[in-house]
Structure 1
């Protein structure tokens, strides 16, 4: 599993040089291209996660869509996030029993039970796609038993998101935060999160400064957090002493920082580059990862390296244009893709996938 850490610099530096498309050409324009601007195609016509972005782009106003879509500077990291998975080919095994693969999708995240090894990553401003905002995300996650991590800069407050849970719900959420040395303000946020039922704090650490988001600047939809933030491992310790909840650093991008997270007592880490908008730990902490995941095969490649669970942000934000029903459909589609891709890979038990199922030579090819 150490191989994943040695790949991090490669994943961060590989750049795509070809012309970029938001979604692959799978015939969606031919079948749904006559949908009127400002109108969503029927939900039953959505067959994969990229379809949700195509649908949302035609439905949302341009500035709202841009807030979800934008990347840093020339958007090379954004592009690389989407394309890097295709540079590493699967190595399918045959004549293995895969008939019970669906029963192996459930997993635990920090000891909490969930129906699949993926979660809804923190994303701000869900109300830009749907008037019920984050309510669609939390209810969709609850209906399908997956983890949702609400963002601090959500449209709905921490309390409103908690109130949107189904009645008598024991749904587990992890609360995302931006924090620095203002301990009084930080402790107040922690107390609100604890009261709302959050079981962990997701501390975004890859946003010490604002991002150079040229696309966003053109439409006046910059970062939700544009300040310079003082963040060090000493600050991490101080913050951890303010709450009984585990604080999970989100935005680890190097081997060195992963090792420092372990040394500084983090219970888990999230490997991420903020959606391309900013710049042997596996046996000691739980490792989660997000960034550019759009297909079941992407999830499998990360799981094969020892990642415990995989986060998706933009796909769920675009799916939320349909509200809770869209979020639920996105979850169902991804679960199905993971299961059938694992079956075709010859993986009969998702808990037993390992690096041997992927060729970790950078093929740098495009289909």
Structure 2
């Protein structure tokens, strides 16, 4: 008994000390590691979304890579976002007719039709990755008919991004702060005039930042004496200033999900800002699981989206299984944008293919029929 206890203690320490893999070892270094510095691998040889980060790091200026990569404090929430998915095992079904599962990917979000339950999350300063900035993102989203949510801090203006839209393309415009004043009214008017179909209000960044990685590069962390005002009363007043639906991005608890329902919010995004704002904030998967366990009705009362740490089709499936309607990705598409529109389009196609293939291997004939029974929600804490 004594030996067994000591051995288990040793094993737990050893597992806890394992190195963190920002990109998994899939052989990319062996195949492309000899490429000259600053050279991108041929796009057709990119095997998965994590490869885009490996490739982008080779060609981006260190400051640019830091801007996309950095997280809050010790970046533990950033790591948890990536690793949490693998703690929950699937419960695959067999002897199912999955031959048409790829045709079941299309989805409607706030009444608008898209080809798959994925979207490009708001990310600032795409110009650090490619000279055409957000054009690669909006054009890639148009080519594959998925939702794109441009950041208010994009390099291109709201109007320039709107002008690049494809025929019939739908965008939701993100904003970071909104006071009840003329500036916000003018901003809302610009967004409405641009043709955006919804406003995405990021509510989890009301305080200054604490990002040590970016601080080392001299990146501004914000005014430590300045805090933004964002309350449920603020939201109600904002609703009177626009005819567009206002989606809340940054919900991290079941209590706030319930409050959003009570406030008449049409959709929420479970998100911890990519682990960039509060280190120790839960991952979107953990929040979705909390809502599923304590208030599952939320998933039918409003539309629930999620973003953060998603790199694989299997990640998307785990979130969909809990009731999430659509899943967003930020960093992977910013890294794919080092190839421009072609890279973003290729990344979307790759993720769609993974979702369909993984759904088939899960034994799921219809993606919309996925439910929590397809996953064992007891976490494997050995990882």
TM-score, normalised by the number of residues in structure 1 = 0.93
Shift of 1:312: 0.3
Structure 2 Cα separation of the partners of residues 240 and 252 of structure 1: 18
Conservation of the 8 A alpha-carbon contact between 1:269 and 1:286: yes
Distance change in 2, residues 1:352/1:235 (3 Å):
same
Distance change in 2, residues 1:285/1:50 (3 Å):
same
In structure 2, the gaps of 5 or more residues are 1-15, 279-296
Match of 1:11 in 2: none
Does 2:252 align with 1:253?
yes
User: Which whole-Å deviations, capped at 9, do the CAs of 1:179-222 have from their partners, x for residues lacking one?
Assistant: 23242111111111111110000000000112210001111334
Of 289, 312, 315 in structure 2, the residue corresponding to residue 295 of structure 1 is 312
Match of 1:12 in 2: none
Match of 2:4 in 1: none
Structure 2 Cα separation of the partners of residues 363 and 211 of structure 1: 32
Match of 1:56 in 2: 56
Structure 2 Cα separation of the partners of residues 179 and 212 of structure 1: 18
TM-score, normalised by the number of residues in structure 2 = 0.89
| SS of structure 1 residue aligned to 2:89 | coil
Of 168, 171, 174 in structure 1, the residue corresponding to residue 169 of structure 2 is 171
User: Which whole-Å deviations, capped at 9, do the CAs of 1:69-95 have from their partners, x for residues lacking one?
Assistant: 000000000000000000000110000
Conservation of the 8 A alpha-carbon contact between 1:153 and 1:224: no
| SS of structure 1 residue aligned to 2:216 | helix
Conservation of the 8 A alpha-carbon contact between 1:92 and 1:344: yes
Does 2:207 align with 1:209?
yes
Shifted more, 177-186 versus 291-300: the winner is 177-186
Shift of 1:237: 0.7
Does 2:288 align with 1:271?
no
Residues 71-90 of structure 1: matches in 2 within 5 Å?
Answer: 71-90=71-90
Match of 2:19 in 1: 19
Shifted more, 133-142 versus 30-39: the winner is 30-39
Structure 1 Cα separation of the partners of residues 268 and 128 of structure 2: 29
Match of 2:361 in 1: 344
Match of 1:313 in 2: 330
Shift of 1:34: 1.0
Structure 2 Cα separation of the partners of residues 222 and 343 of structure 1: 46
Shift of 1:18: 3.5
Match of 2:69 in 1: 69
In structure 1, the gaps of 5 or more residues are 1-15
Shift of 1:322: 0.3
Structure 2 Cα separation of the partners of residues 49 and 225 of structure 1: 35
Structure 1 Cα separation of the partners of residues 221 and 107 of structure 2: 33
Of 180, 183, 186 in structure 2, the residue corresponding to residue 185 of structure 1 is 183
Structure 1 Cα separation of the partners of residues 358 and 155 of structure 2: 35
Shift of 1:278: 1.4
Conservation of the 8 A alpha-carbon contact between 2:215 and 2:221: no
Conservation of the 8 A alpha-carbon contact between 1:63 and 1:221: no
| SS of structure 1 residue aligned to 2:90 | coil
Shift of 1:352: 0.1
| SS of structure 2 residue aligned to 1:198 | coil
Conservation of the 8 A alpha-carbon contact between 1:138 and 1:161: yes
| SS of structure 2 residue aligned to 1:119 | strand
Structure 1 Cα separation of the partners of residues 242 and 223 of structure 2: 22
Greater Cα radius of gyration, structure 1 or 2: 2
Does 2:321 align with 1:304?
yes
Distance change in 2, residues 1:262/1:223 (3 Å):
farther
Structure 2 Cα separation of the partners of residues 268 and 87 of structure 1: 27
Conservation of the 8 A alpha-carbon contact between 2:180 and 2:238: no
| SS of structure 2 residue aligned to 1:287 | strand
Does 2:197 align with 1:199?
yes
Of 317, 320, 326 in structure 1, the residue corresponding to residue 343 of structure 2 is 326
Equivalent pairs, count? 349
RMSD (CA atoms): 1.3
User: Which whole-Å deviations, capped at 9, do the CAs of 1:97-131 have from their partners, x for residues lacking one?
Assistant: 00000100000001100000000000000000000
User: Which whole-Å deviations, capped at 9, do the CAs of 1:319-364 have from their partners, x for residues lacking one?
Assistant: 0000000000000000000000000000010000000000000112
